[in-house]
Amino acid sequence: MDYTTITLDIRDAVAVITLNRPEKYNALTAQMRAELTHAVRAAPAEGARAIVLTGAGKAFCSGQDLGDRANAADADLERTLREEYGPLILAITESPVPTISAVNGPAAGAGANLALAADVVIASESAYFLQAFTRIGLMPDAGGTWFMPRKAGLAKAMGAALFAEKIPARQAEDWGLIWEAVEDDGFEAHWQARAAHLANGPTEAFKAVKTAMRQSFENPLEAQLSVEAQLQGACGKTRDFQEGVMAFLEKRPARFEGR
Instruction: Give percent above pLDDT 70 in the chain.
Output: 97
Mean pLDDT across the chain: 96
> Is residue 151 pLDDT above 60, yes or no?
yes
List domains and CATH numbers for the chain: 6-199 (3.90.226.10), 203-249 (1.10.12)
Residue 10 has pLDDT above 70, yes or no: yes
Measuring CA to CA, which residue among 176, 146, 144, 147 is closest to residue 161? Answer: 144
pLDDT tens-digit map of 244-258: 999 999 999 999 998
How much is the average pLDDT of 120-136?
A: 97
User: Radius of gyration over alpha carbons of the chain, in Å?
Assistant: 19
Instruction: Indicate whether 135 pLDDT > 70.
Output: yes
Residue type at 245 in one-letter notation: V
Measured between alpha carbons, how far is 160 from 116 in angstroms, rounded to an integer? Answer: 14
Residue 31 — very low, low, confident or very high, per pLDDT cuts 50/70/90?
very high
Instruction: Tell me the pLDDT band of 104, cut-offs 50, 70 and 90.
Output: very high
pLDDT of 74 above 80? no
Rounded CA gap, 120 and 117, in Å?
Answer: 8
Helix intervals (H) in the chain: 30-45, 77-80, 86-93, 110-116, 144-152, 154-163, 169-175, 187-199, 203-215, 221-235, 239-249
pLDDT band at 55, cuts 50/70/90? very high
